[in-house]
Structure 1
């Protein structure tokens, strides 16, 4: 299923992708495997766009397919057992990037893990993150971005958080198809991930350390 669904999404074959997704969700006990396929597809699509193999119209089409499948998955996520409250997470796709599939996957998994999540949406300017930190006093801030240009936007966001004296109050994790250890250091974040499940583990460890 995974390879067939991934191939259909990347080839922008909406009808086939939705058909495969429906069949799998009818038989699957957990929606998280499908979320991982969507994450991989989003990464591949972002890479193709960066290389000039995909254009804006392709991104829009891919986004619609991913959104439709995400909406199929949502009811199953809501039926998953939830853990007790562990901490508060503010998350958003940084300014200049409107991709939200990866972010939405993290939101769903974080809520299932017991986080209270404040989702700021997409194309979020640094000042909005600062305002949210002041208002909600989160344990963690998540910066998401699919495009290469998002790295600079992540850095600007972290710099603004530093300049307002809030940096020491939160842990910052960045995520998306273009992030790596080098980007993490450049941005000034505490951790990075291209895998939603790994990101949740990192955040859970942070809140455990805070309570010790």
Structure 2
């Protein structure tokens, strides 16, 4: 078996172990796994996006299903950030050509912010500058912040069918006052069809997809700006 094949055969189990260490908040085990992973010369980006982040996404699911609670969430997050501190000096940014400023928040009336926090974390790891308004954000605060500061993208979420229509009104107001501003939406009751009907520029069902959509949207903005300068 060649050297690359040997590394690949060891990479998969290590990624799975990184994920499990986050889920089980085993910080000491994670530190050892991170060091072993780097000593093998494996890709730090892959460790984060295919090991640590999937672990935290699973933690979010466990929290939503009330299997995990706030103490477990905090311990898992501490384990995650320990791994990030180890890997970040070895990471290469795959989004340098698309970096931008992002505003994110949960719409008014909704206090569910686990998904939003995971999305924010993904953006920050990828190198974006993120302003987080938190949860249950009044519409006037969302509007004022989005319109008065120089953001490339506004991301909003709702986990409740009773509050998701706040996004429709917010998008309408944003597009009327600042039509060039890109908007992405997400949340359990939200679908791609809602995004189309409400004139959102993007939709993502989860944190990993959100990062892909953001890259696409900000690349589009960059291309438009370059064409205008020609």
Structure 2 length normalisation: TM-score? 0.66
Give the Cα separation in 1 of the matches to 2:31 and 2:162.
Answer: 35
Change (3 A) 1:81 1:156: closer
RMSD of equivalent CA atoms: 3.6
Q: Tell me by how many angstroms 1:20 deviates.
A: 1.3
**In the alignment, does 2:149 pair up with 1:139?**
no
Q: Partner of 2:166 in structure 1?
A: 156
Give the Cα separation in 2 of the matches to 1:188 and 1:88.
Answer: 21
Q: Partner of 1:114 in structure 2?
A: none
Structure 1, unpaired ranges of 5+:
112-116
Q: Partner of 2:132 in structure 1?
A: 120
Residue among 106, 114, 117 paired with 2:123: 106
Change (3 A) 1:25 1:158: farther
Q: Partner of 1:172 in structure 2?
A: 183
Q: Secondary structure at the match of 1:168?
A: coil
Change (3 A) 1:76 1:48: same
Structure 2, unpaired ranges of 5+:
1-13
Q: Partner of 1:3 in structure 2?
A: 16
Q: Partner of 1:33 in structure 2?
A: 46
Give the Cα separation in 1 of the matches to 2:155 and 2:52.
Answer: 19
Q: Partner of 2:89 in structure 1?
A: 75
Q: Partner of 1:22 in structure 2?
A: 35
Q: Tell me by how many angstroms 1:11 deviates.
A: 2.1
Structure 1 length normalisation: TM-score? 0.71
Q: Which has the higher contact order (CA 8 A, sep 6+)?
A: 1
Give the Cα separation in 2 of the matches to 1:182 and 1:11.
Answer: 36
Q: Larger radius of gyration, structure 1 or 2? A: 2
Aligned residue pairs, count: 202
